[in-house]
């Protein structure tokens, strides 16, 4: 009887998995069977839904990195962090020239607010 009801449900509702079928039998039809019994018969009938593989996104190749032609054309800024022996953390802000990879400025402190970052970048500009 359970097998007939399950095959009828899965034929009429193709996208329903076990959960929806069991809830329909229990709540709508009013049958008292527990989920373990219904699931055992559901698996024996091989009514499991096919798991669809995820589609992978096709991504364009990124543009090649542009190499600057002269110094002071483009810069890179990078934050680094470390800890002292007593456990206090400190941060470093490095400003580098991309043409010759020269370090234009290094700012070290326990905290680097945005204003200090802007000042450090402006000083490296000179």
- Judgement on whether residues 40 and 80 belong to the same structural domain of the protein: no
Alpha carbon separation from 101 to 79, 93, 108 (Å, rounded):
16, 15, 19
Q: For the chain, give me the number of helices (H) and strands (E)? A: 4, 3
pLDDT of residue 87: 94
pLDDT greater than 90 at residue 53: no
Beta strands, E only, the chain? 75-83, 89-97, 103-109
Per-residue pLDDT tens digits for 24-52: 999 999 999 999 999 999 999 988 877 77
pLDDT > 70: percent of the chain = 99
On whether residue 58 sits in a domain, the answer given is no
pLDDT greater than 90 at residue 16: no
pLDDT band at 14 (very low <50, low <70, confident <90, very high): confident
Specify the number of domains making up the chain. 2
pLDDT of residue 83: 95
* Residue 90 domain boundaries: 75-124
pLDDT of residue 110: 93
Per-residue pLDDT tens digits for 84-95: 999 999 999 999
On whether residue 57 sits in a domain, the answer given is no
On whether residue 120 sits in a domain, the answer given is yes
Does the model's pTM come out above 0.85?
Answer: no
Mean pLDDT of 95-123: 88
- Judgement on whether residues 81 and 41 belong to the same structural domain of the protein: no
- Judgement on whether residues 120 and 81 belong to the same structural domain of the protein: yes
On whether residue 16 sits in a domain, the answer given is yes
On whether residue 30 sits in a domain, the answer given is yes
pLDDT greater than 90 at residue 54: no
On whether residue 90 sits in a domain, the answer given is yes
On whether residue 54 sits in a domain, the answer given is no
């Amino acid at each position: 009887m359970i097998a007939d009801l399950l095959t009828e449900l899965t034929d009429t509702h193709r996208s329903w998995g076990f959960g929806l079928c069991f809830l329909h039998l229990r709540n709508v039809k009013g049958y008292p069977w527990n989920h373990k019994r219904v699931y055992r018969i559901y698996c024996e009938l091989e009514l499991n839904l096919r798991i669809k593989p995820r589609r992978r996104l096709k991504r364009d190749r990124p543009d090649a990195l542009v190499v600057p032609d002269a110094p002071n054309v483009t810069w890179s800024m990078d934050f680094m962090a470390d800890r002292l022996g007593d456990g206090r953390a400190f941060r470093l802000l490095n400003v580098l020239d991309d043409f010759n990879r020269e370090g234009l400025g290094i700012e070290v402190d326990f905290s680097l607010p945005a204003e200090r970052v802007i000042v450090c970048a402006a000083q490296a500009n000179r």
